[in-house]
């Protein structure tokens, strides 16, 4: 007899969970150690993720096609992969380019001081976009893993921004020319593998997007670990992106503050903040992929890889049920109501400036001593959330 937990948290493709090939394909190698397991091939990944309830995968160009593959080899690999996707009812929801592994990108790709590197990065990305379109991806992510410096004497930070903008503008025109149904999502990270990375946070990209020729084609792909590395509140970053209509994709994982990019299993560290994130995604009606960009512990053997994948999806589904419990919890909802004072008349005043309104607001008899006497009960509210997440409510 399966318990409630076994029965109710089984993902289906309707939940739109996707995994990067590089996540369950992670070999356990790290800067201090060699691989600890034989990674599954892309076709094996599709075959193993489908029965776990995943909706699809995402790919870097070279996760699938070796960088020096001939056209014939490339076409064969793509055909075999497409057959596996069809056979297992899986999709490629996002594609991206690896502009960080090969030594040619050691000093950046689009922001490199070398014009030939910048040209090669454009060429490689156009081919990556072609591949993504062929695989049916509607989102194309740009993570500038090498777009940064260790020595800021090396380039004027304004040149880096300008070069990146020129590249994104050019590639937006390429997608339009090719008539691909594709949008771009920019992924921020504050540092690693470079000493400092340009566009370190989701907020930096939200500002940058407005300077592009086709801002409507470009959004953001916030990652939990990357905003945490910058010491930021991920729920706030995603809230601002959603409010701006720019949450085109999301990288779910987890991360201790003040550490290197851990890319931990979703919800394995920051349960409360991931609860607020799931609440935001579900209540906002975000209909994009719930994409995991994480990897199993180096200590895991092959079977542990699939424990990791199951855990990412189960935790999301458990938190989603906690969201429903939060919404139905009468005591929580009462404390929330008490913490809010609405005044439609006053609010309307502050929304649209006129000189008359300004004069009226200036003359309003607002007694700050009286106003300050009214206090919200956030200690009570937070304790209720903690008890909800601990399963005692
Ligand atoms: C790392 O967080 C980056 C790369 O794995 C990839 O380019 C991107 C896709 O989500 N995330
Ligand atoms: Mn990461
Ligand atoms: Mn990522």
Helix (H, G, I), strand (E, B) or coil at 30: strand
pLDDT at 5 over 70: no
Q: Establish if 89 belongs to a structural domain.
A: yes
Strand partners, 60: 96
307 is catalytic: no
Output the pLDDT for position 1.
Answer: 47
Distance 251 CA to ligand 3 centre (A): 5
- What is the Cα–Cα distance from 273 to 236, expressed in whole angstroms? 10
The CATH number given to whatever domain includes residue 78 is 3.20.20.150
| 298 and 339 housed in the same domain | no
pLDDT for 348 equals 87
Residue 349: predicted pLDDT:
87
Q: How far apart are CA 18 and CA 293, in angstroms?
A: 9
The pLDDT assigned to 197 comes to 98
Nearest CA to ligand 1 atom 1: 143
Using alpha carbons only, how large is the chain's radius of gyration in Å? Answer: 23
Q: Which ligand is nearest to the CA of 229?
A: 2
Known catalytic residue: 60?
yes
Tell me which residues have their CB closer than 6 angstroms to ligand 1: 20, 22, 96, 141, 143, 187, 221, 223, 251, 293
Domain match, 18 and 101 both? yes
Instruction: State yes or no: pLDDT of 123 exceeds 80.
Output: yes
- Domain boundary, last residue among 327, 347, 371: 327
Residue 125 lies in a domain: yes
Q: Would you say the pTM of this structure is higher than 0.95?
A: yes
Q: Using CA positions, which residue lies closest to atom 4 of ligand 1? A: 143
337 in any annotated domain: yes
Q: Are 37 and 175 members of one domain?
A: yes
**241/246 Cα distance (integer angstroms):** 5
Q: Which of 294, 327, 360 is the last residue of a domain?
A: 327
The mean pLDDT of 256-262, rounded to a whole number, is 97
DSSP structure class, residue 265 = P
Query: What is the CB-side half-sphere exposure of residue 75 using CA atoms within 13 A?
Result: 3
Say which ligand is closest to the CA of 63. 1
Pick from 159, 277, 172, 183: nearest CA to 228: 277
- pLDDT tens figures, 185-221: 999 999 999 999 999 999 999 999 999 999 999 999 9
Phi-psi group of 285: left, alpha or beta (phi > 0 → left; psi -120 to 50 → alpha; rest → beta): left
Residues 319 and 363 in one domain: no
What is the atom index within ligand 1 of the atom nearest the CA of 293? 10
36 plus 180 within the same structural domain = yes
Please state, in angstroms and rounded to a whole number, the distance separating the CA atoms of residues 53 and 290.
12
Q: Please give the residue range of the domain that contains residue 341.
A: 330-390
Give yes or no: residues 301 and 349 share one domain.
no
Task: Average the pLDDT over 383-393 and give the result.
Answer: 97
**Domain end marker among 282, 309, 327:** 327
* Mean pLDDT to the nearest integer, 134-159: 98
List all residues 6 or more positions away from 211 whose beta carbon is below 8 Å from its beta carbon: 165
Interval between CA 293 and ligand 1 midpoint (Å):
7
**Around Cβ 375, how many Cβ atoms within 10 Å?**
8
> 31-80 pLDDT, tens per residue?
999 999 999 999 999 999 999 999 999 999 999 999 999 999 999 999 99
Q: Judge whether 1 lies within some domain.
A: no
Average pLDDT, the chain: 97
218/117 same-domain check: yes
In a domain, 335, yes or no: yes
User: Given 8, 61, 63, 177, which residue is catalytic?
Assistant: 63
Same domain? 42 vs 190: yes
User: What local confidence, expressed as pLDDT, does residue 4 receive?
Assistant: 54
Asked if pLDDT for residue 380 goes beyond 90, the answer is yes
Whole-number Å distance between alpha carbons of 195 and 151: 8
pLDDT in tens, 94-109: 999 999 999 999 999 9
Considering its fold, how many domains does the chain have in total? 2
Residue 135 lies in a domain: yes
Contact 62, 73 (CB under 8 A): no
User: 224 and 371, same structural domain?
Assistant: no
Closest CA to ligand 1's atom 9: 141
Please spell the DSSP secondary structure of 33-80, one letter per residue: B--SSPPPPHHHHHHHHGGGT--EEEEEHHHHS-TT--HHHHHHHHHH
The ligand 1 atom at the shortest distance from the C-alpha of residue 96 is 7
Q: Are residues 380 and 250 in the same domain?
A: no
| Dihedral of the alpha carbons of 62, 68, 72, 75, in degrees to the nearest 10 | 10
Q: What angle do CA 190, 245, 289 make, to 5 degrees?
A: 75
82 CB-side CA count, 13 A: 13
Averaged pLDDT for residues 329-336: 97
For 139, how many CA atoms within 13 A lie in the half-sphere containing its CB? 29
Q: Which of 125, 143, 188, 264 for a ligand 1 pocket mutation test, highest count of atoms within 8 Å of Cβ? A: 143
Do 245 and 213 share a structural domain?
yes
Burial class of residue 393, CB neighbours in 10 A (0-12, 13-18, 19+): middle
pLDDT of residue 350: 85
Surface-to-core class of residue 174, CB atoms within 10 Å of its CB (0-12 exposed, 13-18 middle, 19+ buried)? middle
In a domain, 349, yes or no: yes
For tokens 């940058």, name the residue: 208
- Structure confidence at residue 3 (pLDDT): 54
Assess whether 266 and 350 both reside in one domain. no
């Amino acid at each position: 007899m399966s318990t409630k937990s076994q029965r109710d948290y089984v993902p289906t493709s309707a939940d739109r969970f996707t995994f990067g090939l590089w996540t369950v394909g992670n070999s356990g190698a790290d800067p201090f150690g060699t691989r600890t397991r034989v990674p599954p091939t892309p076709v094996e990944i599709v075959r193993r993720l489908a029965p776990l309830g995943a909706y699809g995968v995402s790919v870097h160009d070279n996760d699938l096609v070796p960088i020096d593959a001939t056209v014939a080899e490339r076409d064969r690999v793509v055909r075999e992969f497409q057959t596996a996707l069809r056979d297992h009812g899986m999709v490629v929801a996002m594609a991206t380019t690896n502009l960080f592994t090969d030594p040619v990108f050691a000093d950046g790709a689009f922001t490199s001081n070398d014009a030939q590197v910048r040209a090669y990065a454009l060429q490689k990305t156009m081919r990556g976009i072609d591949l993504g379109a062929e695989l049916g991806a509607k989102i194309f992510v740009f993570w500038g893993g090498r777009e940064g410096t260790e020595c800021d004497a090396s380039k004027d930070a304004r040149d880096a921004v300008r070069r990146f903008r020129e590249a994104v503008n050019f590639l937006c025109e390429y997608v339009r020319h090719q008539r691909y149904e594709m949008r771009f999502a920019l992924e921020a990270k504050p540092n690693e593998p470079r000493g400092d990375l340009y566009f370190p946070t989701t907020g930096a990209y939200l500002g940058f997007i407005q300077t592009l020729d086709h801002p409507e084609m470009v959004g953001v792909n916030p990652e939990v670990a990357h905003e945490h590395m910058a010491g930021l509140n991920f729920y706030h970053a995603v809230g601002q992106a959603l409010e701006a209509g720019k949450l085109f994709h999301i990288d779910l994982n987890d991360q201790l503050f003040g550490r290197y990019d851990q890319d931990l299993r979703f919800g394995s560290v920051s349960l409360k903040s991931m609860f607020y994130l799931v609440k935001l995604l579900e209540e906002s009606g975000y209909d994009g992929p719930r994409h995991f960009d994480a990897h199993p512990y180096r200590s895991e053997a092959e079977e542990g890889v699939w424990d990791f994948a199951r855990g990412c999806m189960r935790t999301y589904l458990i938190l989603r049920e906690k969201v429903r419990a939060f919404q139905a919890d009468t005591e929580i909802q009462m404390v929330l109501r008490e913490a809010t004072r609405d005044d439609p008349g006053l609010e309307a005043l502050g929304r649209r400036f006129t000189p008359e309104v300004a004069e009226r607001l200036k003359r309003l008899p607002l007694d700050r001593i009286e106003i300050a006497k009214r206090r919200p009960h956030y200690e009570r509210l937070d304790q209720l959330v903690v008890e909800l997440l601990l399963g005692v409510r």
